[in-house]
Structure 1
Amino acid sequence: MSRTPLPTVAYGKLRYLFVGAILLVLAAATVFLKISTTAGSVAAVIYIVFLIWVVVQIGLAIADRPRFATGPDTPDGLTIAALVPVYNEDVPALRGCLEGFLTQTRRPDAVAVVNDGSSAELDYSAVRDWFLRECTTLGIRAHWIDQVNSGKRHAQIAAMRREPDADIYLTVDSDSILDRNATREAMKAFADPEVQSVAAVILSTNYRSSLLTRMMDVFTVGLQLFERSAFSRLNSVMVNSGGCAFYRGGVIRDNVELYLNETLAGRRVNFSDDSLLTLFALQRGKTVQQPTAFAFTLMPAKFSHHVRQQLRWMRGSFIRSGWRMRFLPMTGAAYWLHMMKWIAYGTMTSTLIMLVVTGKLLNPWMLASGMLAAVALYVLTAFRYLAVVRSDQSTAQRWLTFATAPLAAIWGLTFLRVLRWYAMATVLNLGWGTRAVVEVRADS
């Protein structure tokens, strides 16, 4: 099988973004102050506090810097084992994922692939034989395990048990493609012995498939380079993306039983594995994002798949919130950052309800200006999307995709907000909810 060209990523210059960012801050602040005079004193205080909270996060995100190998540990001396659970994955997408390991500037020492009972119609034999052969040539320990369907967490642990002594575990989804420098860049953060996990920045491979995939590419990248970067500045990343994350070996090894047997109201939790691993890491030390480590993944191109994915993420987020409040130490920044998120969400939701009940939201000026201010703030938080220069995306395509940011903001403020309420109300629906068959293909 011939090798396929894999995308690469770099950061462009940020200077040309500053003028636009400043203008958006001024515009949002002006509109918020105008809304305050219309909505009343309570709403005014809430809006102003929320604006300050967003600006603080933007400042922290901008202040976040890549981690460098300056600590007492030597990252190059740490062994890396990649864990790859596979379930009903598109064959070319899986090949792209595996090839990403082979082309790394710092290759993993081992890769364990677990086919978790995929449909018999999917023939991975050619990919398996090619991958095992290539790993032998490159000196990478390779494992391929076929098992009955047991779920993603069980597949990851089965892979981990093939490499029980690894210093670092790299977790990926089976459609993830690592940028060629992803492992090398992420490992730099482990020079600090207190760092327990490192999140990569996840980009959409199929961002051009539809308006939905463009919107969600901006939405997810903006969130990673805004909120996650802000929390990373304080060594308190809450959720690593399943698409690519790195953990100290003990984070997974010491929590196997709890990881495999998490329950809610007597029912087994089958999703939110990445947020649980990040919580384990937070309990042990620092959790950071390395903004120079990138990976690509396939995003849902169809509305139905998008809804099921979002519901799974939202239910997992709601479940994990309770765990964080219970188990994170109050002396750490993570606890208070998490508390501030819920306070901001609760107060803004309450204010919205109050404006609806009092009829003030029906005021055309209030409705239009409020939406304008919210969209302006969101676009501001997503501005750093323009700094990510991808080999598979021209400058024109980057700007065209970023132009969907206002739509992504409206989508998040309306449909996804209501969907989150539904997810909270149906939190006991703990099934995986996606990928009974191949849902997104690499050629999309």
Structure 2
Amino acid sequence: MLAARQHRSGTIFMAIVVLAMAAVWTAHHALVASAYDSTTTGRLSLVWTALFVVFMVQTLMYHLERPRRLSARGARQLSGLHVAILMPVYNEDPGYLKLGLESFLAQTRRPDSVHIVDDGSTSSDYAEVRAWWNRAAAEVGVAFTWQRVPNAGKRHAQAHGVRVSPEADIYITVDSDSCLAPNAVEEVLIPFSRPRVQSVAGIVIATNNRANLLTRVTDLWFVTSQLVDRSGQSAVGAVMVNSGPLAAYRAPVIRDNLDSYLNETFMGRPVMFSDDSLMTLYAQERGLTVQQPSAIVFTAMPEKWSHFSRMYLRWMRGSTIRSVWRMRYLSMARPAFWLHLLRWFQMFLTQMVTVWLLVVEPVAFDNLPPASMLWVPFIIGWAQGLRYLGVIRSDERIRSRALTWLMMPAAIVLAWTALRWMRWYGIATCARTGWGTRQNGAEVSLGGAGAAAPAPPVPAPLVELPLPAGRHARSAPLPKLLDPGNEQTLRIAVPRR
């Protein structure tokens, strides 16, 4: 069974030392900029000061994050909660699907129920996996449902699971390729001992991180961003996007907004992606959204550029749509509102600085960019990437992870070139709201690199489950249903213990 944990002591010390070196390099670059003539100094000094301040604030914030610990009283409270896992499945590789289901049963704190919804898969009906699961779950006493429904998208598949689990107090959302570390459920529940916490994000690492260069660089970039950007947000209870492979929510966050969740539109088109960020936005409206860095999940990363690029464009389009909703609906009294503005400010400022130093200064003023500009991003990247080394995996030696860490320049070059262009292209094409992957079957298989060959589907009954008696979903635009008190919001009574 795959396992992982976070080791903090040495990594934190090393990160502080190297970040101090990065700060020195940044200061050096500012001095070089000031060595230009007085006109050029005025153009550059203020910009570099702003970027330096933003960088230092982010550094301070992510070092403030700590895994939540549990008191004896909190443990008793959490033990009485009904925890339900929601797993939508669509054209998933059977090997990854079974690996994830096995991890649910191997938890130190098993879920009370698991709700699997096959969203009309065309590549398989998972008969063998389902037969195994029926026996294995029954043996350990985990309640479950396994539904096969007409294809309607991930959100509707999750909703089927919600409707058959009215007793749940906490919903844990996972993907069909999620493999939970043995203590992931136990750890992701701990922050809920604080009443104000409404959602908890786990840490996502790649199951197939050593498949090729792309998966190594993607794993490095993704883990570092979670332990830097999202850790900083978590320090003030303002995580903006939970990850699909592992996130947990108080049940009312999902139930009370279910109709809005299923009927979100943007520019008149239904939104099929960005489901995790929308759930996080609902949670932010009610309280704190945090990350638990000790709750770790393995997931399959794209092994081909075509798969990765489609996934990244979907993320950027969803991020743009969600930014519009945050600006419109988040209260200015919440840290998430200002962190969201800071992110956009930093993105625009960085883009302007890059274009200015590489194009405008050389062409218009005959000033070549300082050589230190080539080194500062790599030093900062390596410094922040030390947090990647703090995640210890059962299936990989530290020297292999160190090799991945050394690839940080490749991740930075990718971020500065292809990903930057794709970010702006995603913003410009945010009205394209389709999913874009898995239409032809799983694109990553557990048995090896590449997509699994689609198998002829075996007919299986399609089940449409109605809402609980006396409740009827209504279509309504997102703005009305973001208000928790709106009468049109779907509500399902939950018996309390």
**What's the TM-score bracket when you normalise by the shorter of the two chains?**
over 0.9
Q: Deviations over 1:374-409 (max 9, x none)?
A: 222222222211111111110110101111111101
1:12 CA displacement: 5.1
The answer to whether the 8 Å contact 1:46/1:348 transfers is no
In the alignment, the residues of structure 2 paired with residue 36 and residue 307 of structure 1 have an alpha-carbon distance, to the nearest angstrom, of 39
Match of 1:60 in 2: 61
1:347 CA displacement: 2.1
Amino acid of the structure 1 residue aligned with 2:44 = A
Q: Deviations over 1:173-197 (max 9, x none)?
A: 1001000011111111000010000
The answer to whether the 8 Å contact 1:212/1:301 transfers is yes
1:414 CA displacement: 1.5
- After TM superposition, the runs of 4+ consecutive aligned structure 1 residues lying more than 6 A away are 361-364
In the alignment, the residues of structure 2 paired with residue 243 and residue 402 of structure 1 have an alpha-carbon distance, to the nearest angstrom, of 23
The answer to whether the 8 Å contact 2:200/2:242 transfers is yes
RMSD, aligned CA: 1.9
1:85 CA displacement: 0.3
Q: Secondary structure at the match of 1:382?
A: helix
Deviates more, 1:336-345 or 1:144-153: 336-345
- TM norm structure 1: 0.95
Match of 2:417 in 1: 414
In the alignment, the residues of structure 2 paired with residue 364 and residue 109 of structure 1 have an alpha-carbon distance, to the nearest angstrom, of 65
In the alignment, the residues of structure 1 paired with residue 299 and residue 363 of structure 2 have an alpha-carbon distance, to the nearest angstrom, of 39
The counterpart of 1:13, out of the listed 4, 9, 13, is 9
In the alignment, the residues of structure 2 paired with residue 165 and residue 319 of structure 1 have an alpha-carbon distance, to the nearest angstrom, of 32
1:276 CA displacement: 0.3
Match of 2:26 in 1: 28
In the alignment, the residues of structure 2 paired with residue 52 and residue 361 of structure 1 have an alpha-carbon distance, to the nearest angstrom, of 29
Amino acid of the structure 2 residue aligned with 1:156 = Q
The answer to whether the 8 Å contact 2:70/2:190 transfers is yes
Q: Secondary structure at the match of 1:342?
A: helix
The answer to whether the 8 Å contact 2:22/2:376 transfers is no
The answer to whether the 8 Å contact 2:177/2:299 transfers is yes
Aligned counterparts, 1:39-78, within 5 A: 40-70=41-71, 74-78=77-81
The counterpart of 1:438, out of the listed 442, 460, 466, is 442
Are residues 1:184 and 2:182 paired? no
Match of 2:252 in 1: 250
1:24 CA displacement: 3.1
The answer to whether the 8 Å contact 1:204/1:217 transfers is yes
In the alignment, the residues of structure 2 paired with residue 92 and residue 364 of structure 1 have an alpha-carbon distance, to the nearest angstrom, of 57
1:357 CA displacement: 5.1
Amino acid of the structure 2 residue aligned with 1:168 = I
Amino acid of the structure 1 residue aligned with 2:64 = A
Q: Percent identity?
A: 43
In the alignment, the residues of structure 1 paired with residue 202 and residue 153 of structure 2 have an alpha-carbon distance, to the nearest angstrom, of 23
In the alignment, the residues of structure 1 paired with residue 411 and residue 363 of structure 2 have an alpha-carbon distance, to the nearest angstrom, of 22
Match of 2:143 in 1: 141
Deviates more, 1:37-46 or 1:301-310: 37-46
1:323 CA displacement: 0.5
Task: Evaluate the alpha carbon distance shift between residue 53 and residue 361 of structure 1 in structure 2; reply closer, same or farther with a 3 A threshold.
Answer: farther
Q: Secondary structure at the match of 2:369?
A: helix
1:367 CA displacement: 6.5
1:68 CA displacement: 1.9
Amino acid of the structure 2 residue aligned with 1:199 = A
Deviates more, 1:343-352 or 1:152-161: 343-352
Task: Evaluate the alpha carbon distance shift between residue 59 and residue 361 of structure 1 in structure 2; reply closer, same or farther with a 3 A threshold.
Answer: farther
Match of 2:429 in 1: 426
Match of 1:216 in 2: 218
Aligned residues: 439
The answer to whether the 8 Å contact 2:382/2:406 transfers is no
The answer to whether the 8 Å contact 1:379/1:409 transfers is no
In the alignment, the residues of structure 2 paired with residue 413 and residue 356 of structure 1 have an alpha-carbon distance, to the nearest angstrom, of 13
Are residues 1:385 and 2:388 paired? yes
1:46 CA displacement: 1.4
1:33 CA displacement: 3.6
1:227 CA displacement: 0.8
Q: Deviations over 1:12-38 (max 9, x none)?
A: 532444433433332333234424545
Deviates more, 1:364-373 or 1:420-429: 364-373
The answer to whether the 8 Å contact 2:357/2:369 transfers is no
Unaligned runs of 5+ in 2: 449-497
1:370 CA displacement: 2.1
Match of 2:483 in 1: none
The answer to whether the 8 Å contact 1:177/1:297 transfers is yes
In the alignment, the residues of structure 2 paired with residue 367 and residue 135 of structure 1 have an alpha-carbon distance, to the nearest angstrom, of 62
In the alignment, the residues of structure 2 paired with residue 62 and residue 351 of structure 1 have an alpha-carbon distance, to the nearest angstrom, of 27
Match of 1:105 in 2: 108
Q: Deviations over 1:77-128 (max 9, x none)?
A: 1110000000010000000111110000001100000001111x42411111
In the alignment, the residues of structure 2 paired with residue 106 and residue 183 of structure 1 have an alpha-carbon distance, to the nearest angstrom, of 6
Are residues 1:95 and 2:93 paired? no
- TM norm structure 2: 0.85
Task: Evaluate the alpha carbon distance shift between residue 158 and residue 167 of structure 1 in structure 2; reply closer, same or farther with a 3 A threshold.
Answer: same
In the alignment, the residues of structure 1 paired with residue 363 and residue 152 of structure 2 have an alpha-carbon distance, to the nearest angstrom, of 49
- Compare CA radii of gyration and give the structure with the larger one: 2
Are residues 1:307 and 2:274 paired? no
Amino acid of the structure 2 residue aligned with 1:303 = W
1:137 CA displacement: 1.1
Q: Secondary structure at the match of 1:40?
A: helix
Q: Deviations over 1:172-225 (max 9, x none)?
A: 010010000111111110000100000000001111111111111110111000
In the alignment, the residues of structure 1 paired with residue 367 and residue 72 of structure 2 have an alpha-carbon distance, to the nearest angstrom, of 57
In the alignment, the residues of structure 2 paired with residue 374 and residue 162 of structure 1 have an alpha-carbon distance, to the nearest angstrom, of 50
Amino acid of the structure 1 residue aligned with 2:7 = Y
Amino acid of the structure 1 residue aligned with 2:3 = P
Match of 2:473 in 1: none
Unaligned runs of 5+ in 1: none
Task: Evaluate the alpha carbon distance shift between residue 322 and residue 367 of structure 1 in structure 2; reply closer, same or farther with a 3 A threshold.
Answer: farther
Aligned counterparts, 1:306-345, within 5 A: 306-345=308-347
Match of 2:487 in 1: none
The answer to whether the 8 Å contact 2:208/2:215 transfers is yes
Task: Evaluate the alpha carbon distance shift between residue 53 and residue 441 of structure 1 in structure 2; reply closer, same or farther with a 3 A threshold.
Answer: same
In the alignment, the residues of structure 2 paired with residue 315 and residue 327 of structure 1 have an alpha-carbon distance, to the nearest angstrom, of 19
1:47 CA displacement: 1.7
1:349 CA displacement: 2.0
Q: Secondary structure at the match of 2:289?
A: strand
Task: Evaluate the alpha carbon distance shift between residue 431 and residue 173 of structure 1 in structure 2; reply closer, same or farther with a 3 A threshold.
Answer: same
Match of 1:83 in 2: 86
Task: Evaluate the alpha carbon distance shift between residue 349 and residue 20 of structure 1 in structure 2; reply closer, same or farther with a 3 A threshold.
Answer: closer
Task: Evaluate the alpha carbon distance shift between residue 275 and residue 36 of structure 1 in structure 2; reply closer, same or farther with a 3 A threshold.
Answer: farther
1:11 CA displacement: 1.8
Amino acid of the structure 2 residue aligned with 1:441 = S
